[in-house]
Amino acid sequence: MSNASKEAPFPLYKNKGKRTFEEGFASVTSLLRGKKNILVLAGAGLSVSCGIPDFRSEDGLYSMDASDFGLSSPEELFDLETFDYDPAPFYKFFKTYFQKVDVKPSISHNFLALLDRNKMLRRIYTQNIDGLEEMAGVSLNKIVHAHGSLRYASCRVCRHRVRTSEIMDDIESGKVPLCKRQKETKKKKRKLNCGGVIKPGITFFGEKLGDEVGRSLEADYSEADAIIVIGTSLSVAPMNKIIRYFPCNIPRILINRNIVDVPQNKINEATDLNHNDIDFRDAYMFDVHLLGNCDAITSALMKAMDFILEENLQKVNTINHFPSACSIPLSLTDKNRNIIERTLLFHGAQIPEIEVKASSNSILDTLKCDQKIYCDACQQQILPGTKVMKCLKCFNFDLCFNCYSQKSKTHFNGKHRFIEDTNCFIDND
């Protein structure tokens, strides 16, 4: 749903006939200075400069040879069913890739900490599990670890929770860590170790997000005044739903190496109608795309916003090179003109030449990405091709068709509306 005639949240240029990089970037920094409740959705690109690999880049985790771990694809490393069948490949991978020494926050992590210090940050929803946001100085109560954290682990049998440091000896020696919590047997009154497999506290494919994610999003719904998406391709559900969950009049800023997009779908349209807030954006999702290496962009933002780093009041080491103009090798069609006009390029930007098909609503080729949906009442997976009832008010609250008739009456006393949809493959970027 779009309404191109409605005024955008903020203009990048006063004179549409003559656009310069400097004017567009100044508009972005001016916008951010006036905000007090900025919401940040962070991904793996935030930590790449720290030596932690991302997933989908050319040298990312998904490009590695999974046969080294006895698997057919890298994605299986983070699949819950695969882990429960045999956790050994994951722990071999963990020992190989996550034994980082002296990992420190990046410039971009420090930028987020400075937003917090200057009382401009509402909350960070991070898909990262490295804990570098907190290490940089972001208040812990403003961080939501959407995909969990490596700081803790829990038993798959008794759910006993331990610090990851407690199982590192087993991991380093090549063993699968097992639960040492003692339980008393009924017959001989002897105490034995539980013995269940310990799983890291990160969210695998096939697991629901923690309740904290939905609760925080619902609390932030009426408070957020700007959204920054940084270092993520928005290719994992349900986190890619966050952008369109919030009211349409909130400015959306992308900081990433390339353009990302989340196509409109049935639940988006219903949500727009439910809130009487039809999105004015025409064939684009972000109001501005700051494309390049995250550190190059955030260092420029810190310099332009006159941020200071740490207590010694030293100016942050910024990258001073700006392109004099914004030129993107895309065909100027009605479907991507707005995207081109709202894009500023920095060092490291990845802009492929893309021919937009007339039938496409996105400037990007989209992939079919399967998401597993679980009923919030019976906790059973809602199988692809079957009906799912989605709450229009709550973030990611789904009911199977069997549970809907009863649970919808008790969910917020029946005051929330639901929409019927089909659990199927969804379009992601």
One of 109, 145, 147, 289 is an active-site residue; which one?
Answer: 147
**Closest C-alpha to 194, from 244, 229, 145, 159:** 159
Q: Which residues contact 386 (CB under 8 A, 6 or more apart)?
A: 400, 401, 422, 423
Position of tokens 């990262």?
A: 128
Q: What sign has the CA pseudo-torsion 138, 142, 147, 149?
A: positive
Position of tokens 């310099």?
A: 303
The neighbour count for residue 9, using CB atoms within 10 Å, is: 16
Phi first, then psi: give them for residue 67, nearest 5 degrees. -65, -20
Residue 411 catalytic?
A: no
Q: Is 229 helix (H, G, I), strand (E, B) or coil?
A: strand
**Cα 86 from Cα 26, distance rounded (Å):** 53
The neighbour count for residue 131, using CB atoms within 10 Å, is: 18
Q: Spell out where 114-232 has E strands.
A: 121-126, 143-145, 148-155, 161-163, 182-184, 191-193, 198-202, 226-230
The neighbour count for residue 44, using CB atoms within 10 Å, is: 22
Going by their DSSP bridges, the two strands 198-202 and 161-163 should be labelled as: unpaired
Alpha helix positions (H), 188-326:
211-220, 242-245, 266-274, 294-304
Q: Are 73 and 256 in contact (CB under 8 A)?
A: no
**Cα 300 from Cα 21, distance rounded (Å):** 13
Q: Which residues contact 290 (CB under 8 A, 6 or more apart)?
A: 28, 253, 254, 255, 256, 297, 344, 346
Amino acid (1-letter code) at residue 147: H
Is residue 426 within a helix (H) or strand (E), and if so which, with residue range?
A: strand 426-428
Q: Which residues are identified as catalytic?
A: 147
